Amino acid sequence: MNRLVLLNPGPVNLSERVRQALQKPDLCHREPEFMTLQASIRSRLLRVYGLDNADWAAVLLTGSGTAAVEAMVTSCVPRGGRLLVMINGVYGERIVTMAERSGISVAIAASDWLSPLNLVAAREQLERYPDVTHVAAVHHETTTGRLNAIDPLAALCREFKRPLLLDAVSSFGAETINFDRWPIAACAATANKCLHGVPGASFVIVNRQAFAEAGAPARSLYLDLAGYLAQQDAGGTPFTQSVQAFYALDEALGEFMDAGGVAARQQTYRQRIERIRTKLSALGVAGLLPQADSSCVLQAFQLPQELGYEALHDGLKSRGFVIYAGQGRLAAGMFRISMMGDIGESDLLRLEQVLSDVLKQIR
Ligand SMILES: Cc1ncc(COP(=O)(O)O)c(C=O)c1O
């Protein structure tokens, strides 16, 4: 079968270099070779945003991005604390569900899914609930492709002295994350999106001091970040890790550094997505959000009324490209295109042609 180009928000097309890493020798997760691999990934993850090992730690998990976000949410909020959750899409709503299922009290600052974070509501909730200990937000809300503005939220968090829990699952590695200016206590992300690894490895970057000070109880056996942190700092791991996914992540991080790190990846994605946005616009398909509000990673487009999503998806897939449907209450009127992974110039040229062909054919 011909290669499918994945324009969904992860998993991504692998480079040959990362694919080869999956073939490395079988390894027991209790042997020193695994400890070396784990240590390499942990230090490379900190290097992505130039973080100092004395202040920050990367905690590695086996599981998808949801595992990392759930570990972060359930391991950071202390007993008697409350989590203020910023919602403007599916992933903000999911954080509320995670907290509630673990018995963590929540406060909500919601906005319409097509709107920015609701800072007015956040301020009201912080004033109303003095027991709020942490604020959770999604950096890139993949539901709509909005890159949430974290600067003003960070200012509010600093004003109320509340640390931030950031879901950066679909932004880590490609968008700017100001670890030095935003009061981040923890930031969750995954291997198989902007870092171009394979699914199965995810991680939380924790601020060592903020994490220790929170003194949160373990609410889960498997997703207990404190347990992972202690054992990984000591060169171990509490449970079997996905060795092959770790091999791939380590190689993907090497490839990422060689290519120029966050700035280079951001530029690559931005060039790709602007090109596709321009093409779609010429074909009469408008963006769901303005370009300036959208991430470089993924953008959402309005589904023209006369077009069904299935026809568009199937037409593109039969020609080698997988796009992504809308989610939740926006599902009926939109589709999404992501630009992560090993996508080359020939893929982009072909995509431009195929978009024209399919849209003309099904209209
Ligand atoms: C912002 C965000 N958070 C969390 C997740 C969940 O990640 P996963 O599907 O890897 O569990 C996603 C997935 O797309 C996401 O975009």
Q: How far is the CA of 231 from the centre of ligand 1 (A)?
A: 26
* Whole-angstrom distance, CA of residue 133 vs CA of residue 212: 14
What is the CB < 6 Å shell around ligand 1? 9, 64-66, 69, 91, 138, 140, 142, 167, 169-170, 190
Distance CA 324, CA 303 (A): 12
Tell how far the Cα of 10 is from the centroid of ligand 1, in angstroms: 9
**Which among 6, 8, 66, 85 is the best mutation to test ligand 1's pocket, defined by most ligand atoms within 8 Å of the CB?**
66
Any bridge partners for residue 322, and if so which?
A: 6
d(CA 81, CA 293): 33
Q: Which residue has the tokens 């004003």?
A: 159
The alpha carbon of 167 and the centre of ligand 1 are apart by a number of angstroms equal to 9
For residue 360, how far is its CA from the centre of ligand 1 (angstroms)? 33
Give nearest CA residue, ligand 1 atom 9: 65
Nearest CA to ligand 1 atom 8: 65
Query: 169 alpha carbon to ligand 1 midpoint, in Å?
Result: 6
Two structure tokens written together for 157: 């968090």
- How far is Cα 197 from Cα 278, in angstroms, rounded to an integer? 29
Take atom 7 of ligand 1 and give the residue whose Cα is closest: 65
Q: For 140-177, b where at least 16 C-beta lie within 10 A, e where not — what string?
A: bbbbbbbbbebeebbebbeebebbbbbbbbbbbbbbeb
Q: H or E segment at 332?
A: none
Does pTM surpass 0.85?
Answer: yes
pLDDT tens over the chain, length 363 residues: 578 999 999 999 999 999 999 999 999 999 999 999 999 999 999 999 999 999 999 999 999 999 999 999 999 999 999 999 999 999 999 999 999 999 999 999 999 999 999 999 999 999 999 999 999 999 999 999 999 999 999 999 999 999 999 999 999 999 999 999 999 999 999 999 999 999 999 999 999 999 999 999 999 999 999 999 999 999 999 999 999 999 999 999 999 999 999 999 999 999 999 999 999 999 999 999 999 999 999 999 999 878 889 999 999 999 999 999 999 888 889 999 999 999 999 999 999 999 999 999 877
Atom of ligand 1 nearest to the CA of 139: 1
* Ligand 1 centroid from CA 33, angstroms: 30
Query: Helices in the chain by DSSP H: which ranges?
Result: 16-21, 32-48, 65-76, 90-101, 119-128, 150-160, 208-214, 225-233, 243-258, 261-282, 309-317, 345-362
The Cα–Cα gap between 86 and 190 comes to 21
Give the nearest ligand 1 atom to 141 CA: 1
The owner of tokens 């995670």 is: 98
**How far from the centroid of its chain's Cα atoms is residue 194's Cα?**
8
Span from the CA of 170 to the centroid of ligand 1 (angstroms): 7
pLDDT value at residue 1: 56
Residue that has been written with the tokens 């709107």 in this structure:
115
d(CA 285, CA 304): 7
* Residue of the CA atom closest to atom 10 of ligand 1: 65
As a whole number of angstroms, the distance between CA 107 and CA 121 comes to: 10
For each of the domains in the chain, give its residue range(s) and CATH number, in order of start. Answer: 5-11+261-362 (3.90.1150.10), 16-258 (3.40.640.10)
Residue 187: HSE in the Cβ half-sphere, 13 Å Cα cutoff: 26
Whether omega before 11 lies within 30 degrees of 0, making that bond cis, reads yes
Q: Please give the Cα distance from 362 to 201 (Å, whole number).
A: 39
Would you call 132 helix, strand, or coil by DSSP?
strand
